[in-house]
Amino acid sequence: MRHLSISSKLFSNNRKKLSARLPGKALSVANANDVLPTNADGSLPLHPNSDLFYLSGIEQEESLLVLFPNAANPKHREILFVREPNEHLKIWEGYKHSKEDAQKISGIQTVYWTTDFENIFQLLAAEAEVFYLNDNEHSRASNEVETRDQRFNEKICSDYPLHKIERLAPHLHELRFCKSAEEIKLIKQAIDVTSRGFRKVLRMVKPGVSEYEIEAEWAKEFIRRRSKFAYTPIVASGENACVLHYLQNDQTCKKGQLLLMDVGACYANYNADLTRTIPVSGKFSRRQKQVYSAVLRVLRQSIENATVGKSLKEWQNDSHDMMTEEMLRLKLITQAEVKKQDPDQPACRKYYMHGLGHSMGLDVHDVCNGQYEFKENSVFTVEPGIYLPEEGFGIRLEDDIQITKNGPVNLMSKIPIEAGEIEEIMNR
């Protein structure tokens, strides 16, 4: 792995929390992700399964984790299955975990080869009554391609039709929503790498530079710091910034334009999610600065509003109220429009059409089904924006925050955001 090694305590603590939720005679299974095919004999690099990583630190394909907290044999309470290394794999793919390495990474003592899975599982099934099976239950998950978990679940349900099946995902969503100190540390590392990337980019943006050259600058900084892109970066000049999921990054930045960059690093599977909007020529126009300041005010107030117990829906609605005030001042909407607006579709949605933020962690849009309010040590993005295609620009500002019982902590407070500071750095 590119990242430095992580103490197995992080993972054993997570297993402890999950095991405490499993009733007697229940076992849970978490699978690795599939290596996804492309064309011909091609495949994508493995994207580690977040749940398996959360519980074991294991990032190798085909691995499985079984937790059976009340198994009669103490050796069966935590079992990890990994691919057995062989000469062929060694020649073509190189390193695969030995049992000792898998033990060290995960802190799990019982490690078997995956070829032993069926026999061992049959033994466990004879003792267990309930299987907690995993699935991607993110409320916006794409269901087009069957996952390894889903194939596994189908097989288990057909092989053991008389066992009771329960859903593992709701437990993992609840546990993963609040981050441990070790997880916050890794998120901060991803943010630090992102911050370094932004400072590099601030020095090279000027008229004539292309969006892809800017993407390359981010990539260079991320990769040399043991990281990768947390998601496909958005590097959008001018009107492109109004395409919320702009991914082409193929245009040239022009004088007078703004450049919106939504870019985050992923370090050790933990993510950062940053958006900054900067002037291509190093100076905001009067109008650009007016809109920029409006978005920045909404960002700052929304960060302050993110307190333990605050309802996420209310938090979003408060941002609509703030945006409405700002847009009236900017003469983007009228009092008449506000008066007759549908409360579920306020007038400000015309120029601010996305959510205010999302939970973030091992996934950029982290799992959080069933979470309706901020909790202590939940980590959120805050990302208001105003998009004005008819004026040729869009502005979004996005910071990542940690919710604590003493109030929100801005994990990106050191990343330049004041218009004046951005201009000053760009003109140095």
Residues that bind Mn ion (CB under 5 A): 262, 273, 275, 381, 398
Name residue 375's amino acid.
K
> Could you say whether residue 383 binds ligand GLY (CB under 6 A)?
yes
CB of 244 to ligand GLY, least distance (A): 9
Q: Count of alpha carbons within 13 Å of 74, Cβ hemisphere only?
A: 1
Q: For Mn ion, give the closer residue by CB, 78 or 262.
A: 262
Q: What is the CA radius of gyration of the chain?
A: 24
Q: For ligand GLY, give the closer residue by CB, 51 or 400.
A: 400
Name residue 399's amino acid.
D
DSSP string, 254-304: -TT-EEEEEE-EEETTEE--EEEEEETTS---HHHHHHHHHHHHHHHHHHH
> Could you say whether residue 262 binds ligand GLY (CB under 6 A)?
yes
Between CA 181 and CA 171 the distance in angstroms is 20
CB of 191 to Mn ion, least distance (A): 12
Q: For Mn ion, give the closer residue by CB, 81 or 352.
A: 352
Q: Which does 78 bind (CB under 5 to 8 A by kind): ligand GLY, Mn ion, none?
A: none
With b for 16 or more beta-carbon neighbours within 10 A and e for fewer, the 51-64 pattern comes to bbbbbbbbbbbbbb
Residue whose tokens read 């996420």: 312
Calculate the CA 8 to chain-centre distance.
21
Backbone angles phi, psi at 42, to 5 degrees: -85, 160
Q: For ligand GLY, give the closer residue by CB, 149 or 398.
A: 398
CB of 423 to Mn ion, least distance (A): 23
Name residue 119's amino acid.
N
Between CA 19 and CA 23 the distance in angstroms is 8
CB of 26 to ligand GLY, least distance (A): 35
Name residue 94's amino acid.
G
Q: For ligand GLY, give the closer residue by CB, 173 or 358.
A: 358
With b for 16 or more beta-carbon neighbours within 10 A and e for fewer, the 150-188 pattern comes to bebbeebeeebeebeeeebbebbbbbbbbbeebbbebbb
CB of 231 to ligand GLY, least distance (A): 5
> Could you say whether residue 399 binds ligand GLY (CB under 6 A)?
no
Q: For ligand GLY, give the closer residue by CB, 102 or 323.
A: 323
Backbone angles phi, psi at 144, to 5 degrees: -70, -35
Binding residues for ligand GLY restricted to 217-236, rule: CB under 6 A = 231
Binding residues for ligand GLY restricted to 162-191, rule: CB under 6 A = none
8 Å CB contact between 323 and 384 = yes
CB of 267 to Mn ion, least distance (A): 16
Q: For ligand GLY, give the closer residue by CB, 234 or 422.
A: 234
Question: Total residues contacting ligand GLY (rule CB under 6 A)?
Answer: 7
Going 45 to 49 to 52 to 57, the CA torsion angle's sign is positive
CB of 107 to ligand GLY, least distance (A): 32
CB of 371 to ligand GLY, least distance (A): 17
With b for 16 or more beta-carbon neighbours within 10 A and e for fewer, the 349-361 pattern comes to eebbeeebbbbbb
CB of 233 to ligand GLY, least distance (A): 8
Q: For ligand GLY, give the closer residue by CB, 71 or 230.
A: 230
CB of 354 to Mn ion, least distance (A): 9
Measured CA distances, 237 to 206, 208, 291, 410 (Å): 11, 11, 16, 27
Among residues 177, 139, 118, which one has the least CA distance to residue 374? 177
Q: Which does 231 bind (CB under 5 to 8 A by kind): Mn ion, ligand GLY, none?
A: ligand GLY
Q: For ligand GLY, give the closer residue by CB, 172 or 274.
A: 274
Q: For ligand GLY, give the closer residue by CB, 202 or 272.
A: 272
Interface map 346-375 toward ligand GLY (x if CB under 6 A): ------------x-----x-----------
Binding residues for ligand GLY restricted to 55-74, rule: CB under 6 A = none
Measured CA distances, 177 to 51, 180, 185 (Å): 12, 10, 15
Residue ranges in contact with ligand GLY by CB under 6 A: 231, 262, 273, 358, 364, 383, 398
